[in-house]
Structure 1
Amino acid sequence: MPDTRDGGSFDYIIVGGGTAGCVLANRLSADPGVTVLLVEAGAKERSPWIEIPAGFYKLLTNSDFNWRFTSEPEPNTLHRRIAIPRGKGLGGSTLINGMIYVRGQAQDYDGWAQRGCTGWSFAEVAPIFRRIESYDGPDPSGTRGHDGPLPICEVSERPEIGRAFLAAAEQAGFRRNPDYNGDRQEGFGYYQVNQRDGRRVSAAKAYLAPVRHRRNLVVQTGMRVTRIELSAEGRAVGISARQGNDSVRFSARREVILAAGAIQTPQLLELSGIGDAGRLRSLGIAPVHDLPAVGENYSDHFCTRMNWRVSRPETLNGQSRGLSLFRELLRYMRNRSGILTFGTGLAHGFVRTREGLEGPDVQYFFMHASYGNAAERKLEREPGMTLGIAQLRPESRGSVHAVTPHIGDQPAIRPNFLDTEEDRRAMIAGMRIGRKVIEQPALDGWRDHEMSPGPGCTSDADWLEFARSNGQTIYHAAGTCRMGSDPSSVVDPELRVRGIDNLRIVDASIMPTQVSGNIQAAVFMIAEKGADMILSSRG
């Protein structure tokens, strides 16, 4: 093995160049008096498909841009291995996600504050959301940001079938909502996405690209961090990493900041000797700091996808083939419009599945497409439409833990989906309501027949079996380094790792509970707030 070379010393070392890492690199390097190192395991983001919104179909299963994790087989989901996509490269999951931007509900963040996460109530984080956003849509509540670094717009294409779906939702008794990120989430409408002029805007594009020229910011790609270096006094003093066959060590004068995400942040902590001492010893890792909560509290949004055959040809199944696809390519090249601007959702719905709930507990994703393989987004040849159903605030909790002392070996991911009675009830109720919407008269001219689960699915047992056998994640892994004020949490409300000085975590792993919707907006907010905390602590 070659000797480890000295990579130099920096004030701040950021581990992970995904959503949070790009924000942190921007904000921390704004002070020319400090030096910042951003280390990303993925290569440079070189693919023509990144900026094309529909390019996620190409990138979602590409190992150059996706770590391609899978869950462990579990009885709740009939021992299936479920894909857990995680973005790789500068921009992380914003390179391959559906671009859907959802703040969540105010009570999500108020719930964090009530759990002891001081400073994280919605009133305190709402200004940060406004700082992030450059929103060009309707803002009837006056709560949106309009000059931030991240452009947000409603989906630009409005196909006739999408309008029919929204009419069907109104016929089923649900309201139209002009802005689900405003003062009320409940209702149906078009999704908001991080795009500008028909192009995807990743975290790297919005936050990192404008500051790459800064002389005090160094960005290393293709470099895998293998360990956090700790002093005998329990202080993070740097990192060890590998780049090709080279071993490199970097020193941190102020802080090491983990932004590797809800899967790899807990794995890296464990490989560095921070975690449950007994578990670490069983892996041959010498414990440095006993912190049993590392890797626990895993949560994700579980989603079922109901499909219908469509009686008209105007769906993505046909429009993305042959001569139709060629015409759409020309259209996109000419004016950045057409089907290539679509991500994973056209129209949304946020509903309450029972009386007495403070806010919606189920989210819908309508798309005029149907998939032979939902996990890989492989379209069928015949026209179809899909309604995805996800419970917003799952109670089930799982775990992520290292299985070997080697960073290159995938950790064991155990989501434990559908473990609680409430999770099962909400999913069943959400699917029943979804069928009710699609069966409204507004879709009579489109709906041919229900393919999955099919009209034979009527009892609660039938619906639950469908969820267990067909449900997938919608890629919102979170919670594995839980924030809290209690001693059993991994980080305190300032995002400092308990028991280790100069080490913070700033990514989705710190979320105590899920937010009500796609989590990329919350991760941008966490990173902005984390940067504020780091900068304010310099004194």
Structure 2
Amino acid sequence: MATYDYVIVGAGSAGCVVANRLTEDPNVSVLLLEAGGADNQFFYRLALGFHSWRYPHTSWSYLSEPEPHLNGRRIMLPRGKVLGGSSTINAMLYSRGHPHDYDLWRQMGCEGWSFADVLPYFKRAETNWRGEGPYHGGSGPLQVSKINTKKLLHEPVMEAARRLGYPTTDDHHGRVHEGFGPGDTTTTRRGRRSSASKAYLDPIKSARRNLTIVTHAYATKLLFEDKRVVGLEYQREGKTEQVRAKREVVLSGGVYNTPQLMMLSGIGPADHLLSMGIEPRVDLPGVGRNLSEHAGYWVEFETKGPVTLLNEIRADKLAVATIQWALFGKGLLASQSNSAHAEIRSLPGLDQPDLQIYFNPVRVDAKPWFPGIGKRQEHRVSAVVCLLQPDSRGWMELASANPADKPRITLNIMGTRRDADTLVRGVKIVRQLYDTPPLANLMSHELSPGPSVQTDAEIEAYLRNILITTHHSVGTCTMGNGSMSVVDPQLRVHGVEGLRVVDASIMPTVPGGNTNAPSIMVGERGADLIRGQRLPPAEDAANAVVTPEYPYTIA
């Protein structure tokens, strides 16, 4: 069989990074396997083309099991099945989370993963529009750009927040990590998506002969010699192939595919594996457990006049915007349609934000329209509310021993009283903001939840009927040294030699923000762990955390 030094399973947000960094050594050979195909479609490059996650060939299209706290509803769980993984189909919003998130990992026994430890890796990964500085990188592969808030109702949102006493910041990753401000996206200066594949693979895949990328390759089983993983088996074009790793196999398949492959190979909860007819090799009860996800929902308002972004997606204007984007990388299609981004505390006494809110200057289901043909949609705006610090934990299990069968995933979101209460407060906060001038001057009335939903009990019942996720799942192969941990702080799988996990599944808790940037950071840090290297911790990291006063009150 073919032999490489390292075999990486999954060319997603972390796997692309690991492949790039390991092949910096010309004497190291790497095979990168991806179950999906190439990322060369037009919509992958377009900033507003993230709805490509709906395409079956692009996404794994998972569904949760009937959710026990959401009235038995099944939740759609798209995950990228393409080069770049979910970074190729996500909404490109760049967010690292709060410094306390990573300090908590260190307190949980994950040595080398405090904020001071990971900040240098966030910086190494990016070229930020602000340039090189204490909190940002200026020469990394990942391009981070500022959202152009022109025509996006940015100022009315910001002024309403100021009047209510909320803090503001021009950089959620600088000294002040909470408050209202403009957002950042993973897009280039020419308005193209900067996915992990475009950032880390495209510049090297033709130049480095020690990197082999194989697409449409679905890993089905790890190969062992005693307790050591020495390779794996995968299916491609109807054939079963095997490959050998002289040094290590690195699993970067993501929060669902990585634990699935481990369990199919006999690594996981012994009782569950036996029930599936799989002989356990290593009894690791934490595989598939500790699933953490950000619950989310929309609050929507109708405006008094035609003030939303619906004006800009009129067919003729959209055609001009497409040409402008294609030729110059400018205009509507070169950035995200986001008015403002807020990370805030919903209660005094908290030491970090527990809610994230994205304010969007357009309705959730906005569609292009043609003047004089058909009926134009009504002008609406929406706010997306996200629970940043969930208590609830879910789990995933195999459906069978057949690798083609999708795993059974239970998110268990809204499973604790604290989570439910925080989500209810989110509705009140959004209502208060849209009822505050100058934002209130633009609004006609609330559409959802609607005026009939007022008491805490009514809001909670409404949320249990509509709540979804923001696609930030982590934790199913959690890092640590406890009885339910799966990998150690070096990302080596407990009880197995020659096997590491480098993706979002190792995160002990979900960071308080979007998870693409943290996943890329894990790839950067994981590659150094494999190489036996380490960037020095940031000496001034403690000064990067400023907690504003809590002067605001919630009606």
TM-score where L is the length of structure 2: 0.92
1:361 to 354, 365, 378: 354
Which of these residues, 143, 165, 179, is aligned with residue 173 of structure 1? Answer: 165
Equivalent residue of 1:354, what SS?
coil
Q: Distance in 2 between matches of 1:243 and 1:524?
A: 27
Instruction: Tell me whether 1:530 sits opposite 2:523 in the alignment.
Output: no
Structure 1's 286 and 340: CA in aligned 2 closer, same or farther, altered over 3 A?
same
User: 2:449 maps to which residue?
Assistant: 453
Report the counterpart of residue 143 of structure 1 in structure 2.
135
Asked whether the equivalents of residues 157 and 338 of structure 1 are also in contact (C-alpha less than 8 Å), the reply is: no
How far the C-alpha of 1:448 sits from its partner, in A, is 1.4
Change (3 A) 1:97 1:344: farther
Q: 2:210 aligns with which of 213, 216, 231?
A: 216
Match 1:486 to one of 464, 472, 482 = 482
1:337 aligned partner: 330
* 1:182-235 CA distance string (max 9 Å, x none): 12211101111111121111101111111102111100001100111111x210
Letter in 1 for 2:358: F
Q: Which residue of 1 aligns with 2:402?
A: 406
- Tell me the distance in 2 between the aligned counterparts of 1:409 and 1:321: 43
Contact 2:152–2:308 under 8 Å retained in 1? no
Report deviation, 1:106.
1.0
Q: Secondary structure at the match of 1:200?
A: coil
Supply the distance in 2 between the matched residues of 1:67 and 1:183 (Cα, whole angstroms): 38
Q: What one-letter code is carried by the residue in structure 1 that aligns with 2:429? A: I
Offset, 1:336:
2.2
Residue 288 of structure 2 corresponds to residue 295 of structure 1: yes
Q: Indicate how the Cα distance of structure 1 residues 380 and 404 shifts in structure 2: closer, same or farther if over 3 A, else same.
A: farther
Structure 1 residues 344 and 510: alpha-carbon distance in aligned structure 2, compared to 1, 3 A threshold = farther
Shift of 1:510: 0.3
- Structure 2 residue 74 is matched with structure 1 residue 78: no
Alpha-carbon separation, structure 2, partners of 1:404 and 1:343: 40
Answer whether contact 2:151 2:309 (CA < 8 A) is retained: no
Q: Does 1:476 align with 2:476?
A: no
The 1-side partners of 2:366 and 2:76 are apart by 12
Q: 1:157–1:339: 8 Å Cα contact kept in structure 2?
A: no
- 5 Å-filtered alignment, 1:313-462, equals 313-343=306-336, 345-372=338-365, 381-462=377-458
- The answer to whether structure 1 residue 189 and structure 2 residue 185 are counterparts is no
1:373 is displaced (CA, Å) by 9.6
Question: What amino acid is aligned across from residue 19 of structure 1 in structure 2?
Answer: S
Structure 2 counterpart of 1:69, from 59, 62, 83: 62
Greater Cα offset, 303-312 or 9-18? 303-312
- Secondary structure of 1:424's counterpart equals helix
State the shift of 1:332 in Å.
2.2
Structure 2 SS opposite 1:305: strand
2:154 alignment counterpart = 162
Give 1:33's aligned residue.
27
For 1:167 and 1:73, locate their aligned partners in 2 and report how far apart those are by CA, in whole Å: 41
C-alpha deviation, 1:9, in angstroms: 0.3
- Tell me the equivalent position of 1:253: 246
Q: Distance in 2 between matches of 1:495 and 1:101?
A: 24
Query: How many Å apart are 1:331 and its aligned residue?
Result: 3.0
Match of 1:521 in 2: 517
SS at match of 1:53: coil
Per-residue deviation, 1:240: 0.1
Q: Is the 8 A contact 1:119 1:493 kept in 2?
A: yes
Q: Are the aligned partners of 1:317 and 1:369 in contact in 2 as well (CA < 8 Å)?
A: yes
Query: Could you tell me which amino acid in structure 2 is paired with residue 290 of structure 1?
Result: D
CA contact (8 A) 2:152 2:360 kept: no
Q: How many angstroms apart in 1 are the aligned matches of 2:295 and 2:338?
A: 16
SS for the counterpart of 1:198 is coil
CA-CA distance at 1:341 after TM superposition? 2.5
One-letter amino acid matched to 1:162: H
Maintained 8 Å contact 1:191/1:347: yes
SS at match of 2:246: strand
Q: What is the distance in 2 between the residues matched to 1:487 and 1:278? A: 16
In structure 1, the residue corresponding to 2:55 is in which secondary structure? coil
The alignment-based identity, stated in percent, is: 39
CA contact (8 A) 2:152 2:338 kept: no
* AA partner of residue 471 (structure 1): L
Distance in structure 1 (CA, Å) of the matches to 2:278 and 2:451: 53
- How far apart in 1 are the matches of 2:14 and 2:141? 14
Superposition CA RMSD, Å: 1.9
1:81 Cα deviation from its structure 2 partner: 1.2
Structure 1 CA distance, aligned partners of 2:337 and 2:525?
28
Contact map agreement 2:62 2:76 (CA 8 A) in 1: yes
Whole-angstrom distance in 1 between the partners of 2:244 and 2:423:
48
Name the stretch that deviates more: 314-323 or 404-413: 314-323
CA offsets 1:486-533 (integer angstroms, 9 cap, x no match): 243100000000000010000000000010100111111111000000
Q: Distance in 2 between matches of 1:494 and 1:175?
A: 38
SS at match of 1:176: coil
Task: Name 1:124's counterpart in structure 2.
Answer: 117
Which residue does 1:113 correspond to in 2? 106
**Any conservation in 2 of the 1:135–1:146 contact (CA below 8 Å)?**
yes
Deviation at 1:160, TM superposition (A): 5.1
- The answer (yes or no) to whether the contact 1:16–1:38 under 8 Å persists in 2 is yes
Amino acid at match of 1:455: P
CA contact (8 A) 1:138 1:179 kept: no
2:461 to 461, 465, 483: 465
Structure 2 runs not aligned, ≥5 long: 368-374, 535-555
The separation in 1 between residues aligned to 2:110 and 2:376, in whole angstroms, is 46
Q: Relative to structure 1, is the Cα distance of residues 448 and 337 closer, same or farther in structure 2, using a 3 angstrom cutoff? A: farther
Any idea what the Cα deviations from partners look like across 1:315-346, whole Å, max 9, x if unmatched? Answer: 23443243332232233234322322343644
Q: Deviations over 1:55-104 (max 9, x none)?
A: 112x0201121111111112311111111110111100111111111111
Unaligned 5+ residue runs, structure 1? 1-5
Equivalent residue of 1:212, what SS? coil
Displacement of 1:443 in angstroms is 1.4
1:90 aligns with 2:83: yes
- In structure 1, give the amino acid aligned to 2:14: A
The Cα shift of 1:300 comes to 0.7
State the alpha-carbon separation in 1 of the partners of residues 504 and 328 from structure 2: 36
| Residue-by-residue CA offset, 1:390-447 (whole Å, 9 max, x unaligned) | 1111010000111111222110110000011111111111221111111111113421
Letter of the 1:491 partner, please give it.
V
Q: Does 1:20 align with 2:14?
A: yes
Post-superposition shift, 1:534? Answer: 0.2
2:44 alignment partner, SS class: coil
